[in-house]
Amino acid sequence: MSRTRFTRAVYAAVRRIPPGTVATYGQIAAAVGHPRAARAVGTALARLPRHLANQVPWHRVVGASGISARDDPERAATQREKLIDEGVAVTAGGRIRRDRSR
DNA sequence: GGTCTGACATATT
DNA sequence: GAATATGCCAGAC
């Protein structure tokens, strides 16, 4: 199975994100001990299994410029709506207000 | 087991 | 702010 220690650490870190708050991939990567592995965080979440998607608030993880979702625009829309539903201020461009991130 | 791809970041121009 | 270049790590083939 592909879920490595790193991946599990990422899931754990994402789970620790407080509601109504978003974290960047860089922050997650740094949280698991790999400040330069933002990309790995992306792939790990991209291959996030459904059963884990239920317990991991992946929608709280955004890119440095907000929601990225270069692979699936639908995902971006879902993520944006979920964030808005949680009270996160997401602009029309998919960017997050600085007081909610960082 | 080597290579390509990718939900990225940071620095520089 | 946008475009370009480089580094980083894990997953899929």
Structural domains counted in chain A: 1
A55 in a structural domain? yes
In a domain, A93, yes or no: no
Nucleotide nearest to A32 (CA to C1'): C9
Report the pLDDT value the prediction gives residue A71, as an integer from 0 to 100.
Answer: 66
At residue A97, the pLDDT reads: 84
Q: Which nucleotides of B are covered by protein (CB under 7 A)?
A: 5-10
Write the CATH number for A45.
1.10.10.10
Question: Does A94 fall in a domain?
Answer: no
Distance CA A81, CA A90 (A): 9
What is the per-residue pLDDT across A22-69, written as a single tens digit (0 to 9) for each?
999 999 999 998 888 999 999 999 888 888 888 999 999 998 888 876
| Closest nt by CA–C1' to A5 | C10
* Cβ contacts, strand B, under 7 angstroms: A 24-26, 29, 36, 38-43, 45-46, 48, 58-59, 61, 63-65, 68-71, 75, 79
Q: What's the domain range around A57?
A: 5-86
- Asked if residue A96 is part of any domain, the answer here is no
Distance CA A10, CA A83 (A): 19
Percent of residues, chain A, with pLDDT higher than 90: 44
